[in-house]
Structure 1
Amino acid sequence: MTEFGADRSGIADSTAAVAAAIEAAGNLPGPRQVVFPTGTYRFYPDRAVPHELYLSNTVGADPAFRDKRFALYVEGIDDLTIDGQGSRFELHGQLGLFAVIGSSRVTITNFEFDQVAPRIVDLTVIETGPGYRVVTVPAGSPYVVESGQLSFMTDPSPYDGTPYWRHSTDVLGVGQQVFDPVAGLASRRPAWLFENLVSVTDLGERRLRIDYRDETTPDGLGMVYSLREVTRDTAAGFIWQSKSVAVTNLKARYLHGFGILGQFSEDIVVEGNEFVADRSTGRIAAAFADFVQMSGVKGTITIVGNTFDGAHDDAINIHGTYLPVTAVDGRTLHLRYAHNETAGFPQFHFGDELEIVNRASLRAVGQAVVTAVTGPTGRDSRSLTTMSITSDRDVPAEVATDPDAFAVENITYTPAVRIAGNTFRNIPTRGILLTTRGRSVIEDNVFDGLDMASIFISGDASSWYESGPVHDLTIRRNVFRRPSPNHPVILIHPENTVTDEPVHETIRIEDNTYEGGVLVEAKGVRNLVVGNNLVL
């Protein structure tokens, strides 16, 4: 690595050198390795090559964010291992960690990484009094106070001296949540840290005094208010049109944008990683949104032996995408991407199998094989929100008569899943969301103090458009500590408005341990088995 100019001392920008090393590895016979001599490496977006890419569950078709940049960019390379050998990677600006595109048998392993100035700012309340709070700011969060108003920003670019972003508290606090570092609990509180603000005063030593119009003493002493501007501009890790990709043994201190996203790929492993912020920095949040999201993956997804701590959204979400039908022309179905965060990437390939469902009931009305596709490529701005697919058989008459009532799912890209031996904590939402027809197991995990349901089985064609039905799921030998008093531990709730028949087939919930509350609340399951679960 250093022969390409990478600087293991952590002083110079290693972005271009690392890109050259990966390109050189791709020109060698396999198996290939890119090895980092142990050290610290800095990555800046200024020297990362932009790639026009469209990612599920992020900014959708917004042209302002069509170009993505990554510290480690792998495309069209098979049999590759990127081994950090215990190194530390420091990312600057709005930069993703890695992309693996059109590649097979790729492993990314053995390093720690962090964002130097993340677009989440964690403010710890160290003092309260009549009409004021005093908070501390982590060293990695530059700020300015001007005329009593507070703004946060990144460190400046070493190339032009300007920050990569700057936001006032009005913008940065849209995604606020609160962490209790003593109890180890996270929630999305409605009480805004800067509500009824009079002014902010810089007290020095990274301490800020916030004065309010109300003279009562506010709450929150010891709490960490975590502030976020909500644009999911990229993913920290992106796996697309690839097979047999493993992400292992990473110390992930902060995932910028949208966690690790698998999109239309096959056989993905996420194993032995530590998704936890470096608490010595004063930071709590380790992910801008989800930790792991798998959208339209086939084969198997294996997520084992990880720690998920401090997300700003769900820890794991595995699903497909329903595309509503807009018109029918013979055997051709015209479709649209219905959610504003999902668009621009191809949803079907030639030869994939499709299923048509009634959007209100989620009842399947027909299956077919795709014989032609027109629409998004995932690489350019043409046709970002619409596509058309032709099937090998006639479209059901009810679909041709009333196309708006139906949606289509790619059922080739529905994985089998194993989620095992993980720990979930400091999560303000859910631990696992899962909707796949592949045989799946959630076992031997620990869920501690999640603010919503620990496991959520949904599926809908009307809001998030995240498909589809669960056919065979086992939830066993998990421990649910301090479950939410306001939500069941396990929630099975497909969002169908017509319930003439079940959406999901068989779900078994057995041999789990939970500390009170409601273990399971369910609807829409044909065969629900609940047994041998222990209440502590």
Structure 2
Amino acid sequence: MRVFDVVDFGADPTGRRDSADAFAATFREACGCDGPSEVLIPPGTYALYPERAERRDLYVSNTVGADERYRTKTIAMLVEGARDLTVTGTGAALVLHGQQTALAVIDSENVRWAGFSVDYHAPSLVEARVVAAGPDWRQIAVPKDVMWRIDGTHLIWEGEQGKGGRPYWTGRDGLDYTQVHDPRTGRTRRCDNPLFTGVRAIREDLTIEYDHAIDDDTGLVYQMRPTVRDHPGMFIWESRGVALDHLQVRYLHGFGILGQLSRDLTISDVRFQADPETGRYTASYADFVNLSSMGGQVRIEDCVFAVAHDDAINVHGTYLVVKERADDRTVVLEYRHPETAGFPAFHPGDEVEFIERASLAAETAIRARIETVDGPNGRDDSHDPFTMTVTVDRALPTDLVTEDWAAENISYSPDVTIAGNLITGIPTRGVLLTARGHCVIEGNTFDDTGMAGIFVSGDANDWFESGPVRDLTIRDNEFRSLTAPAVLVEPTNTVDGGPVHSGITVEHNRFVDCTEPHVKPKC
């Protein structure tokens, strides 16, 4: 095995100099190597700035859709076209600056990441802790890396300055989205932002005076951010056999881990949790793990998921609406959710299933094999990013009517194991699962999720996240202090055409201080 040491390529383990170009050069060499190879990141702290990092034009599910302003992604560690590569960083701390993807695996096979930690120096997410409050005022404190200035009765937030002298990001007051976290209980909930309503004055010690009476919210942390998901925090696309093992993920910008049209993913012993020394609590800008149209085996085991801005784990496919019929075997399919577009949803040889959007019923579903695909390639704008034309191996029935039907790539619907994880501080769902493989959720702790602990959905009209569950066992989990159902089965069909989901077993779970029905099914 050939070993490529980032220090040999010029990386600085003291963190005083930018190591981005050295990391990029190391990964390029390792990816071009014949035979097994290892990228070694020795113990130390490495500063990774965006100006010299790799860049790729990419379309990513569940983020910014076809918005050309965000097509170019900056990537600190890029593995592309590699086979049998290990990235080892025991004792290494990677500190990212600006807005970028921490790591990406594209068109690769058997890639393992292990041992290091990832954090961002100054995220575009502001956490304001209320340190004191009175009848009509409150004083807030923010982490030391958050830059701010007062503009009349407004606060202007700024990221750190880039190498060109301008801040990487700016924002005002409550930004676009707010949730509140209580460090005393660990509870996190979505909320309206009370900090910047009716402001009379702001003082230099970050005391905000109001023209109205306020509630005493001392100790609460208001977590504020933009809503543009310009980068995935980590990205896995058209790859097989990727493993993330024994990592410390302190924060991920833009999104969490996004897996797209890949197979056989393992996430094991990864701690998604902010570094308490930073004064931050949030570890992800959105979901922690979102797997869109994955195949093979997905294993998420022995991890900690603590405080995100959306679901902890989301495993789903994608429904594309049948927009046109060109002939008996050829249809035009369309992405309908604005966050998802621009990448291929099918390959020749994949199996497609067409379902009625109103009923989502298995009994009327139609299956075929993809022969040809003409659509977006995931990298540029040479094709309409929303539509693709597919030809299948059999004549489609005449009652497959445009707009009334949707298509899912069922060659990418994995077997899933989610086991031994702690999920806490989540404002939404602990696990959202819509996969038709053999799925087991066992031995996890769901601590006070804001919505269902486990949500089995299925939706061809809103989020367009497919598909049916056929074999799911939920056992030996503990659900604590939930104010929503622990297990919610709720497909969005509007017509009863028979069961959408089947084969679900819920057994030997423990429910502690949960106020809603433990299991609420609509199959």
Same-fold status (TM-score > 0.5): yes
Q: Partners in 2 of 1:28 and 1:493 — Cα distance?
A: 48
Match of 2:25 in 1: 20
Q: Aligned partners of 1:521 and 1:270: how far apart in 2? A: 29
Q: Map of 1:439-518 to 2, 5 A cutoff?
A: 439-484=438-483, 487-515=484-512, 516-517=514-515, 518=517
In the alignment, is residue 167 of structure 1 matched against residue 167 of structure 2? Answer: no
Q: 1:148: Cα distance to partner? A: 3.4
Corresponding position of 1:345:
343
> Deviation string for 1:483-525 (max 9, x for gaps)?
11xx21110000000013000111000000001431100012x
Q: Residue 68 of structure 1 aligns with which residue?
A: 73
| Alpha-carbon contact 2:54-2:76 (below 8 Å) kept | no
2:236 touches 2:259 (CA, 8 Å); kept in 1? yes
Task: Give the match's secondary structure for 1:466.
Answer: coil
Could you report, residue by residue, the CA deviation over 1:70-110 in whole angstroms, capped at 9, with x for unpaired residues? 11011001101111122110001111100000000001111
Deviations 1:187-229 (A, max 9, x none): 01234321222232221xxxx1111110x24331100000011
Amino acid of the structure 2 residue aligned with 1:91: L
Counterpart-to-counterpart distance in 2, 1:39 and 1:274 = 19
Matching residue within 179, 182, 198 for 2:181: 179
Pairing partner for 1:287 from 275, 284, 289:
284
Residue from 108, 118, 129 that aligns with 1:103: 108
- The equivalences for 1:309-388 within 5 A come to 309-330=306-327, 331-363=329-361, 364-381=364-381, 382-388=383-389
Whole-angstrom CA distance in 1 between matches of 2:203 and 2:228:
28
AA matched with 2:411: T
Within 2, Cα distance between the matches of 1:55 and 1:165? 21
Query: Does 2:266 correspond to 1:265?
Result: no
Q: Which residue of 2 aligns with 1:124?
A: 129
In structure 2, what is the equivalent of residue 56 of structure 1?
61
CA deviation vs aligned residue, 1:257-296 (integer Å, no higher than 9, x gap): 1100110000000110100011222111110000000000
Aligned equivalent of 2:429: 430
Contact 1:148 1:201 in 2 (8 A): no
Which residue matches 1:213? Answer: 211
TM-score (norm 2): 0.97
**CA, structure 1 residues 16+514, in 2 after alignment: closer, same or farther (shift >3 Å)?**
same
The residue type paired with residue 356 of structure 2 is N
Corresponding residue for residue 3 of structure 2: none
1:192 counterpart residue number = 194
**Following the alignment from structure 2 to structure 1, what is the Cα–Cα distance between the partners of residues 60 and 29?**
27
Residue 427 of structure 1 and its aligned partner are, at CA, apart by: 0.6
Equivalent position of 1:233 in the other structure: 230
Once the two structures are superposed, what CA deviation does each residue of 1:27-65 show, in whole Å capped at 9, x if it has no partner? 333210000111000111111122100000000000000
The answer on 1:417 being equivalent to 2:419 is: no
The answer for the alignment partner of 1:139 in structure 2 is 144
The corresponding residue for 1:529 is none
Letter in 1 for 2:129: T
CA contact (8 A) 1:456 1:493 kept: yes
In structure 2, C-alpha distance between the alignment counterparts of 1:43 and 1:355, rounded to whole Å? 44
Measured in 1, the distance between the counterparts of 2:412 and 2:367 equals 14
Do 1:176 and 1:192's aligned partners in 2 also have CA atoms closer than 8 Å? no
Distance 1:27 1:404 in 2: 45
Alignment of 1:238-257 (within 5 A): 238-257=235-254
Question: 1:266, 1:298 within 8 Å by CA — same for their partners in 2?
Answer: yes
What amino acid is aligned across from residue 368 of structure 2 in structure 1?
A
* CA drift at 1:365: 2.8
Q: SS at the partner of 1:12?
A: strand
Aligned alpha-carbon RMSD (Å): 1.0
1:303 pairs with one of 300, 304, 318: 300
Q: Secondary structure at the match of 2:204?
A: strand
Q: Which moves more between the two structures, 144-153 or 231-240?
A: 144-153
Q: Cα deviations across residues 133-191 of structure 1 (Å, max 9, x unaligned)?
A: 1000101211111333211121111x211111111125x2x210000100110001234
Letter in 2 for 1:197: V
User: What is the rounded CA distance, in whole Å, between the counterparts of 1:218 and 1:196 in structure 2?
Assistant: 14
Distance 1:127 1:20 in 2: 49
1: distance between equivalents of 2:295 and 2:332?
Answer: 24
Q: Helix, strand or coil: the match of 2:344?
A: coil
Give identity over the alignment, percent.
45
Distance 1:309 1:61 in 2: 31
CA distance in 1, matches of 2:165, 2:318: 42
* Rounded Cα–Cα distance in structure 2 between residues aligned with 1:232 and 1:140: 21
Structure 1 partner of 2:521: 522
TM-score between the two structures when normalised by the length of structure 1: 0.94
Does the Cα contact within 8 Å between 1:307 and 1:424 map onto a contact in 2?
A: yes
Letter in structure 2 aligned against 1:230: T
| Cα deviation 1:5-48 (Å, max 9, x = unaligned) | 10111011111101101111123332100001110001111111
Give ranges in structure 2 of 5+ residues lacking alignment.
Answer: 1-5
Contact 1:198 1:211 (C-alpha < 8 Å) held by counterparts: yes
Count of matched residue pairs? 512
Moved over 6 A (4+): none
**Aligned to 2:277, what secondary structure does the other structure show?**
helix
SS in 1 for 2:26: helix
Q: In structure 1, give the amino acid aligned to 2:397.
A: P
Extract unaligned runs of 5+ from structure 1: 525-536
CA distance in 2, matches of 1:451, 1:55: 26
